[in-house]
C-alpha cells in the first residue's frame, strides 16, 4: 500500500502506478469537505466519471450519485456445477454458446415482451422509477454491452463454473443521471465549493427528500440488477441441462460492486461508496474476474480496515477503449486467445476494447491485494459470450 499525504485527507493505494486522470480524481475526493478518514484505491483503479473506478469513498451524511456510478448494482454472479469440463468438447461448447446468444439479449437488445417479476408491483413511489418502470420490464434478464460478459469456466478440479457480469441496465443509468442532475442543482443553488473541486462530484445531503428518494431508487436498482443476473443464470443452466443430464448446482455467489450504504468504520457510521469495488469483510466471499482470456478468482475477504474492508472488482483497464482500438493488434489478440483454446468474442477492431491486452495483469492485481483477500478458487476461461454489436443508444 502506498500513501499520498498531500491533500486534505490521505489517499491509500493498493497499486504501484496510477494514471494521471485517476490520481487527480482521487485528490478531488480527498479534498471534499465531507470525506472521511482517507480515500482507498483498489489495485484495479483507473479513471472513471467524477470518481475513479476501483475507488472507495466514505462520506459523512451525504451521497454522491457519481461515486456510485451510472450502472447501479453492476456486479457478478458465479455458479458452480457438479459437471466436469472434460465432458465438454468444442462442438458442445459452440452449441451452448450459440444457445446462450439466442436466449439472452446481448448488447443494447431487450426482450420483445415484458418480463414478469413480483418486485415490479412493489416499486417505490419515486418519480424516475415510475417513469422508467415500463421500459425496465423489457430489460430484465439482458446482459448489456461494454465489459459485461457471460463466461464458462473451469476450476482446478475441472468442475464447470458459469460467471455473469451485468448490472441494472438502462434502468440504473436513468436513475443515476436523474439524481446527478438534481445534486448539481442543489450545489449550484448553495454555491457549494464542491463544484470548484469537481462539477462531477455533486452531492445530496442525507436529510433532503431527494437524497432519501435516491437511496430508495438505488436500492431498488440493486434488487433489479441481482434479479437480472439471476434470470440470465437460470436460462444458461437450462441450456446446460439440455446438453448434459443431471446437471446440478453446487454453489451460487452474487455480489454488487457499484453502490452506497451505511457502514461502521473506525467507530463512525459513514456512507461507503464503492464504485468498481467489492466488499471484503472478514470471511465474506467475493468474485474478482480477470479480462477476457485470463483467470478469474473466487476470494474470501480479510476485513482489512484500511481499505474500508474492500477489494478490487476485476483486473481494471490499463488503456481506454479508443486507445485499445488504435494500438492493439487484432491478429495478436486473437492468436493469444486461440492458443489457449478459448471460444471468445474478439473478431474485429471494435472488439479490441475488450481484448485481454486492454486490461491490467490480473495476477499482479491479486498480488497487490494479498492483505485484502485470500484466493479460494482459481477459474480458467473456456468460452466467453459478449455483445458483438455496438450502438450509441439504447433501443428502448
Q: DSSP readout, 165-199?
A: EE--HHHHHHHHHHHHHHHHHHHHHTT-THHHH-G
Where do the domains of the chain lie, and which CATH numbers do they carry? 2-318+359-385 (3.90.1860.10)
| Alpha-carbon gap, residue 220 to 184, rounded angstroms | 22
Tens-place pLDDT, residues 215-250: 999 999 999 999 999 999 999 999 999 988 777 899
Q: DSSP readout, 290-331?
A: --TTS-EEEEEE---GGGTSEEESSS-BSS-HHHHHHHS-HH
Q: What pLDDT shows up at residue 396?
A: 25
Using CA atoms, how far residue 207 sits from 257, 323, 367, in Å, is 25, 43, 41
Model confidence at 375, pLDDT cuts 50, 70, 90, reads very high
Average pLDDT over every residue of 357-378: 97
Residues 6+ away with beta carbon under 8 Å from 352: 324, 325, 328, 330, 333, 346, 358
Range of weakest confidence among 86-95, 306-315, 380-389 = 380-389
Q: What pLDDT shows up at residue 392?
A: 35
Which alpha helices (DSSP H) does 31-168 contain, by range?
90-103, 127-139
Residue pair 35/59 in contact by the 8 Å Cβ criterion: yes
C-alpha cell at position 309: 474492508
| Alpha-carbon gap, residue 35 to 359, rounded angstroms | 30
Q: What pLDDT shows up at residue 394?
A: 28
Average pLDDT over every residue of 305-317: 97
| Alpha-carbon gap, residue 53 to 42, rounded angstroms | 9
Tens-place pLDDT, residues 3-12: 999 999 999 9
Q: What pLDDT shows up at residue 391?
A: 39
Tens-place pLDDT, residues 45-92: 999 999 999 999 999 999 999 999 999 999 999 999 999 999 999 999
Q: Count of CB atoms within 10 A of residue 283's CB?
A: 9
Model pTM score: 0.95
Residue pair 201/194 in contact by the 8 Å Cβ criterion: yes
Model confidence at 293, pLDDT cuts 50, 70, 90, reads confident
Q: What pLDDT shows up at residue 91?
A: 94
Average pLDDT over every residue of 365-394: 84
Mean pLDDT rounded to a whole number for the chain: 94
Q: What pLDDT shows up at residue 12?
A: 98
Average pLDDT over every residue of 15-44: 97
Whether the pLDDT of residue 159 is over 50: the answer is yes
Catalytic residues: 313
Residue pair 197/28 in contact by the 8 Å Cβ criterion: yes
Q: What pLDDT shows up at residue 122?
A: 95
Using CA atoms, how far residue 29 sits from 7, 188, 203, 225, in Å, is 9, 18, 12, 27
Model confidence at 361, pLDDT cuts 50, 70, 90, reads very high
Model confidence at 378, pLDDT cuts 50, 70, 90, reads very high
Q: Count of CB atoms within 10 A of residue 56's CB?
A: 29
Report the percent of the chain where pLDDT is more than 90: 92
| Alpha-carbon gap, residue 253 to 193, rounded angstroms | 42
Expressed in angstroms, the distance from the first to the final Cα of the chain is 44
DSSP assignment, residue 97? H
Q: What pLDDT shows up at residue 248?
A: 87
Q: What pLDDT shows up at residue 331?
A: 94
Q: Which residue bears the cell 473451469? A: 154
Whether the pLDDT of residue 144 is over 60: the answer is yes
3-state SS assignment for residue 93: helix
3-state SS assignment for residue 359: strand
Amino acid at each position: 500500500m502506498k500513501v499520498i499525504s498531500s491533500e486534505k485527507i490521505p489517499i491509500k493505494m493498493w497499486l504501484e502506478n496510477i494514471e494521471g486522470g485517476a490520481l487527480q480524481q482521487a485528490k478531488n475526493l480527498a479534498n471534499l469537505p465531507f470525506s472521511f478518514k482517507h480515500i482507498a484505491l483498489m489495485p484495479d483503479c483507473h479513471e472513471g466519471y467524477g470518481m475513479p473506478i476501483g475507488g472507495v469513498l466514505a462520506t459523512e451524511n451525504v451521497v454522491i450519485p457519481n461515486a456510485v456510478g451510472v450502472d447501479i448494482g453492476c456486479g457478478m454472479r458465479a455458479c458452480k456445477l457438479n459437471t466436469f469440463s472434460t465432458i465438454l468438447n468444442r462442438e458442445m461448447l459452440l452449441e451452448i454458446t450459440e444457445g446462450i446468444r439466442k436466449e439472452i439479449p446481448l448488447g443494447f437488445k431487450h426482450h420483445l415482451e415484458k418480463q414478469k417479476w413480483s418486485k415490479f408491483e412493489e416499486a417505490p413511489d419515486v418519480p424516475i422509477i415510475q417513469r422508467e418502470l415500463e421500459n425496465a420490464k423489457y430489460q430484465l434478464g439482458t446482459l448489456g454491452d461494454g465489459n459485461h460478459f457471460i463466461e464458462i469456466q473451469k476450476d482446478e478440479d475441472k468442475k464447470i463454473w458459469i460467471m455473469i457480469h451485468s448490472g441494472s441496465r438502462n434502468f440504473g443509468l436513468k436513475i443515476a443521471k436523474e439524481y446527478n442532475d438534481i445534486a448539481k442543482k442543489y450545489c449550484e443553488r448553495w454555491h457549494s465549493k464542491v463544484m470548484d473541486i469537481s462539477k462531477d462530484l455533486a452531492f445530496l445531503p442525507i436529510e433532503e427528500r431527494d437524497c432519501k428518494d435516491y437511496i430508495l431508487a438505488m436500492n431498488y436498482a440493486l434488487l433489479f440488477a441481482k434479479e437480472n443476473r439471476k434470470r440470465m443464470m437460470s436460462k444458461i443452466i437450462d441450456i446446460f441441462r439440455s446438453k448434459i443430464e443431471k446437471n446440478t448446482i453446487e454453489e451460487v455467489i452474487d455480489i454488487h460492486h457499484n453502490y452506497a450504504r451505511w457502514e461502521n468504520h473506525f467507530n463512525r457510521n459513514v456512507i461507503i461508496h464503492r464504485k468498481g469495488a467489492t466488499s471484503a469483510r472478514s470471511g465474506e466471499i467475493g468474485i474478482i474476474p480477470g479480462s477476457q482470456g485470463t483467470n478469474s478468482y473466487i476470494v474470501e475477504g480479510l476485513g482489512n480496515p484500511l481499505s474500508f474492508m474492500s477489494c478490487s472488482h476485476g483486473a481494471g483497464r490499463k488503456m481506454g477503449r479508443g486507445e485499445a482500438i488504435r494500438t492493439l493488434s487484432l491478429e495478436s489478440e486473437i492468436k493469444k486467445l486461440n492458443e489457449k483454446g478459448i471460444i471468445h468474442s474478439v473478431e474485429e477492431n471494435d472488439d479490441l476494447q475488450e481484448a485481454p491486452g486492454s486490461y491490467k495483469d490480473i495476477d499482479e492485481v491479486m498480488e497487490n491485494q494479498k492483505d485484502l483477500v485470500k484466493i479460494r478458487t482459481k477459474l480458467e476461461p473456456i468460452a466467453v459470450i459478449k455483445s458483438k454489436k455496438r450502438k450509441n443508444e439504447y433501443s428502448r
